Structure 1
Amino acid sequence: MNIHLLHDIVFYLLYAMAAIVTFIAIERIIFYAFTIRQARLCLQGDQAPNAKSVVADMVLPLQAAELRKASRNQMEDLAESGYIKVRTQLVHHLWALDTIVTAAPLLGLVGTIFGIIDTFAALASSGISDPSAVSAGIGTALYATALGIGVALYGLIFYNLFHNRVERISDKIKLIILKFSGTQASAQ
Structure 2
Amino acid sequence: MNATLLHDLIFYVMYAALAVSLVIIIERAICFAWTQKQAAQLAQSLTPDVRSAAGLPEALTRRNSLPLRVIEPVLAQKNRATPEAIGDVIDAQYLLSKPCLTRGIWLLETVVTAAPLLGLLGTVMGIIDTFKALSASGISDASQVSAGMGTALYATGLGIAIALICLVGNNYLQSRMERISELLKVLLIRAGSQAAAPQQDAPWAESGAKRYA
TM range (shorter): over 0.9
State the distance in 2 between where 1:91 and 1:10 align: 27
Instruction: Report the equivalent of 1:8.
Output: 8
The answer to whether 1:134 aligns with 2:152 is no
State the distance in 2 between where 1:106 and 1:63 align: 49
Residue pairs, 1:26-175, within 5 angstroms: 26-45=26-45, 47=57, 49-50=60-61, 52-67=64-79, 69-175=80-186
Unaligned 5+ runs, structure 2: 47-56, 198-213
State the distance in 2 between where 1:14 and 1:144 align: 9
**1:44-63 CA-partner distances (Å, limit 9, x unpaired):** 11846445211111111111
Partner secondary structure for residue 87 of structure 1: helix
Partner secondary structure for residue 6 of structure 2: helix
Note the C-alpha offset of 1:164. 0.4
Instruction: Report the equivalent of 1:18.
Output: 18
TM-score, length basis structure 1: 0.93
Percent pairwise identity: 44
State the distance in 2 between where 1:82 and 1:57 align: 9
Unaligned 5+ runs, structure 1: none
Note the C-alpha offset of 1:182. 2.0
Partner secondary structure for residue 193 of structure 2: helix
Larger radius of gyration: 2
Q: What is the CA RMSD across the aligned residues, in angstroms?
A: 1.5
**1:62-103 CA-partner distances (Å, limit 9, x unpaired):** 111113x21011101110110011122111110010001100
For these two proteins, the number of residue pairs brought into alignment is: 185
Note the C-alpha offset of 1:177. 1.4
Note the C-alpha offset of 1:37. 0.9
State the distance in 2 between where 1:80 and 1:88 align: 14
Q: Which moved more, 1:25-34 or 1:75-84?
A: 25-34
Note the C-alpha offset of 1:7. 0.8
Partner secondary structure for residue 183 of structure 1: coil
State the distance in 1 between where 2:16 and 2:180 align: 30
| Structure with more helix by fraction | 1
Show structure 1 runs of 4+ deviating over 4 A: none
State the distance in 2 between where 1:87 and 1:168 align: 12
State the distance in 2 between where 1:2 and 1:88 align: 41
